[in-house]
Structure 1
Amino acid sequence: MTDAKPFPPLKNDLILRAARGEKTERAPVWVMRQAGRYLPEFRAERVENDFFRICRTPELATKVTLQPIDRYDGLLDASIIFSDILVIPQAMGMEVQMVPGKGPHFPEPLVLPGDMAKLNENVDVNKELKYVFEAITMTRHALNGRVPLIGFVGAPWTLMAYMIEGGGSKTLSKAKEWIFKHPKESHALLQRITDVCVDFLVGQVHAGAQMLQVFESWGGELGPHDFDLFSLPYLAQIAKRVKAELGHEHAVPMTVFAKGSWYALDKLSEIGYETVSLDWTHDPAQAKATTKGRVTLQGNMDPNVLFGGDEAIVSTVERMIRGFGSTERYIANLGHGILPTVPVEAMGLFLKTVHRVGLEVAAEKKEAEAKESIQILG
């Protein structure tokens, strides 16, 4: 699974140091869905290739993963492998289509608990998801050490919801009917998904991923009580089991992103993840007060600000960086994935402003510390 050829040495480890809680020269930055539809070079690739064909073809996945790294040369501090959270339901035996203008579609979703019998009993990720591992290894070499490579997975509750709803949903009424009417079967399904998630993440690290993120994209659709029952235990289990299987020698920083689950920030900070990613509903000062330095925070600009023009982008980034700080336990990002119609110039301005303001805040902090030291000595 892992290429015998050694990987190139890493030239920029800023994001890894930030995730581990080490001081940094400035806040590192990357963007969720940074390789995707907002890029004209990606849209050109999609004219020739189906979405999942790109995911399943290591050469194509590598090519599009590098597109934002090449376009925004020197501005991004991480790459994230081009894939999709729904490769796990596919590995479990479900058909998933990516319908233009609609998004993911499951022709045969799980309707009743008995439908779980249609799922593969034992999923061999080395067979079913080998193409992802090959893409990670290929991409790691192609990056040539420019930035670290992030691997990822969808969280169990989010994946379960897709598998039952058959695609996107405004209410998740079908998935919620399961957890309320069939709690025992729901937990059984969540556990089966968790087992595959763990194997998949461990495999990604062995293939070359240097950081991992777990996307609980629909976490906020659950209230606090139900989040504690149907999401949090499985997120915690993933972190614990992945770390145990990798051991100290292969350990990589892990990030959890539970969109909309603002009420769970304290609990998310104590279940084994180095970084907690935040959506735009979080106030920096409040988030820092809640987490008390236990984790690195990531985020959290509203992606829609990128449509607001230069002034809005600059002022929002300035407020964000000054709110979270620039040199310790912070990774700049959006509060969710970049939207497909965002102008590439807006993304460039966002990244440049994060760099500029991050360095300014770091310099201001250094100067303040120096003055304080002089006063103490005096």
Structure 2
Amino acid sequence: MQSRCLNTRSSGITAQVQTRRLPVSRSSVTCKAAAQDPLLLRVARGEEADRTPVWLMRQAGRYMAEFRAYSDKYPFRMRSETPDIAIELSMQPWRAFKPDGVIFFSDILTPLPALGIEFDVIKGKGPRIDDPIRSMEQIKALKTLDDPLNSLPFVHEILSSLRKEVDGQATLLGFVGTPWTLAAYAMEGKADRDCKQTKMIMFNNPALLHALLEHLTTALITYVGYQIEAGAQVVQLFDSWAHHLSPEQFAEFSLPYANRITEAVRAKYPHVPIIFHANGGTGKLDVVAGSNADVIGLDWSTSMRVCRQTLGPQHKVQGNVDPMVLFGTQEVIEAEVKRVLLEAGPQGHILNVGHGVVQGTPEENVGYFCELARQSGKIHQEQQQQQQNQHAANGQLVGAAV
């Protein structure tokens, strides 16, 4: 195995990246249930645990100075598609804060070029697609994702390398954008606050939108499987544009396609839990409850207590601290995290923020957030003891009254 250093310099900051070139292999990584499996994986499967696991969406993200040493120097796609860099960016938060999950540094739009939809990410402006999908002819001309190892080889190298780096000390998470989110990006050509072009197609030519969703669903089933074969132990389906949809639109244009991915992946990889996170999904919980994912990710706009009551005990949940809480004092962070932990209960919950860690978040507060999760077993025990003491006191009062 060869090892070398990739040096990057930006604004006087030097980052040393220890890299390992690993052979790309088509052999699958077996992830059978075992007692030594990492905590987050076991909880996502529904197993009992002595504390609540934690990871942070966008944890390989903009809030770290170490990360910005790269983002100031290299364009996004170079960072996300160069294994040496992507591996380093994925590992930075884990080395700093030791969360229970390591999410590989990538982008929701990563699989699109393999389908013939090129994109770029413009710093300060976000993704751009110069030739947005607006016709049936364009959809018919799209490629199929028959050989992702050939068309997206860097994904395999990043994930397989991370799996070795983490070495069972945390759960390796893959992630994929849902068909709706990818379709909306592909039709808009950029982020749009009204999702105007896509919704015009939705209302005037819904068959066109459904055709693109069908094509993307087939490709994403393959893409999720590819990530699992490369080493992902849990995969999150991220519907980042769900907030653009009404409950009725979500039930037609998003959830059925996400459910098809989960169903197909589970049939082949039953040992790999799927998380479904819809940004804006708590506004349509009654529809989101129809997800067949193993874990439902929750944004922060509804209390965890309401989410638990609406979704029922059959659903494991993830979330849902307001990411802006991490700009608060430690007392505020502790109070909010404890509230979410206690409302979620001691089992079937993965602590996370409700969407993503915001740029500028103090890094020490991210560390404190993760530390509170490591204290969650004690937090739940203290609540249980308080409840037992209260029941005992109530019983004594009743006895005295009799």
- TM-score by length of structure 1 reads 0.90
Alpha carbons of structure 1 residues 4 and 87: separation in structure 2 relative to 1, 3 Å? closer
Structure 1 SS opposite 2:43: helix
| Residues 278-310 of structure 1, C-alpha deviations (whole Å, 9 max, x = no match) | 000122221111121111110001111112332
Match of 1:23 among 48, 63, 73: 48
* Partner AA of 1:254 in structure 2: I
1:348 correspondence with 2:367: yes
* 1:90 and 2:113 correspond: yes
Structure 1 residues 154-196: Cα deviation after superposition (integer angstroms, max 9, x where no partner): 0001111101111111100111111111111111100101111
Displacement of 1:48: 3.6
Q: Is residue 183 of structure 2 the alignment partner of residue 164 of structure 1?
A: no
Aligned twin of 2:296 = 276
Are residues 1:241 and 2:261 paired?
no
CA distance in 2, matches of 1:353, 1:262: 24
The CA deviation at 1:358 is 4.4
Contiguous gaps of at least 5 residues in structure 1: none
- Inter-CA distance 64–10: structure 2 relative to 1 (3 Å threshold): farther
* Cα deviation code 1:259-296 (max 9, x no counterpart): 11225434434442110000001222211111211111
SS at structure 2 position matched to 1:339: coil
- Equivalent AA in structure 2 for residue 302 of structure 1: D
Partner of 1:191: 214
1:124 shift after superposition:
2.9
Q: 2:281–2:288: 8 Å Cα contact kept in structure 1?
A: no
Shift of 1:122: 5.2
Secondary structure, aligned partner of 2:351 = strand
The Cα shift of 1:12 comes to 6.0
Aligned length, in residue pairs: 368
Report which stretch shifted further, 268-277 or 148-157: 268-277
Tell me the equivalent position of 2:5.
Answer: none
Change (3 A) 1:91 1:317: same
Q: Distance in 1 between matches of 2:35 and 2:161?
A: 15
Q: Are 1:360 and 2:379 counterparts?
A: yes
3-state SS of paired residue (2:111): helix
Cα deviation, residue 329, structure 1: 0.8
Tell whether the 8 Å contact from 1:11 to 1:147 is kept in structure 2 after alignment: no
Find out whether 1:44 has 2:64 as its counterpart: no
Residue in structure 1 matched with residue 317 of structure 2 by the alignment: 297
Residue 79 of structure 2 aligns with an amino acid whose one-letter code is I
Find the counterpart in structure 2 of residue 230 from structure 1: 253
Which structure carries more relative contact order (alpha carbon 8 Å, separation 6+)? 1
Matched, 1:126 2:149: yes
**Structure 2 contact 56–352 (Cα < 8 Å) conserved:** yes
Q: Distance in 2 between matches of 1:279 and 1:119?
A: 33
Flag structure 2 segments of 5+ consecutive residues without an equivalent: 1-23, 396-402
| 8 Å Cα contact 2:116-2:143 kept in structure 1 | yes
Kept after mapping to 2: 8 A contact 1:255/1:275:
yes
Q: CA deviation at 1:245?
A: 2.6
The one-letter code sitting in structure 1 at the alignment partner of 2:177 is G
Classify the secondary structure of the residue corresponding to 2:197. Answer: helix
Q: Is contact 2:139–2:211 with CA below 8 Å preserved after alignment?
A: no
Structure 1 position 357, deviation (Å): 4.3
Which has the larger Rg? Answer: 2
The one-letter code matched in structure 2 to 1:56 is E
Q: How do 1:91-170 residues align onto structure 2 when only pairs under 5 Å count? A: 91-121=114-144, 123-170=146-193
Write the mapping of 1:254-333 to structure 2, written as runs, cut at 5 A. Answer: 254-325=274-345, 327-333=346-352
- Per the alignment, residue 272 of structure 2 pairs with 252
How far did residue 116 of structure 1 move? 2.4
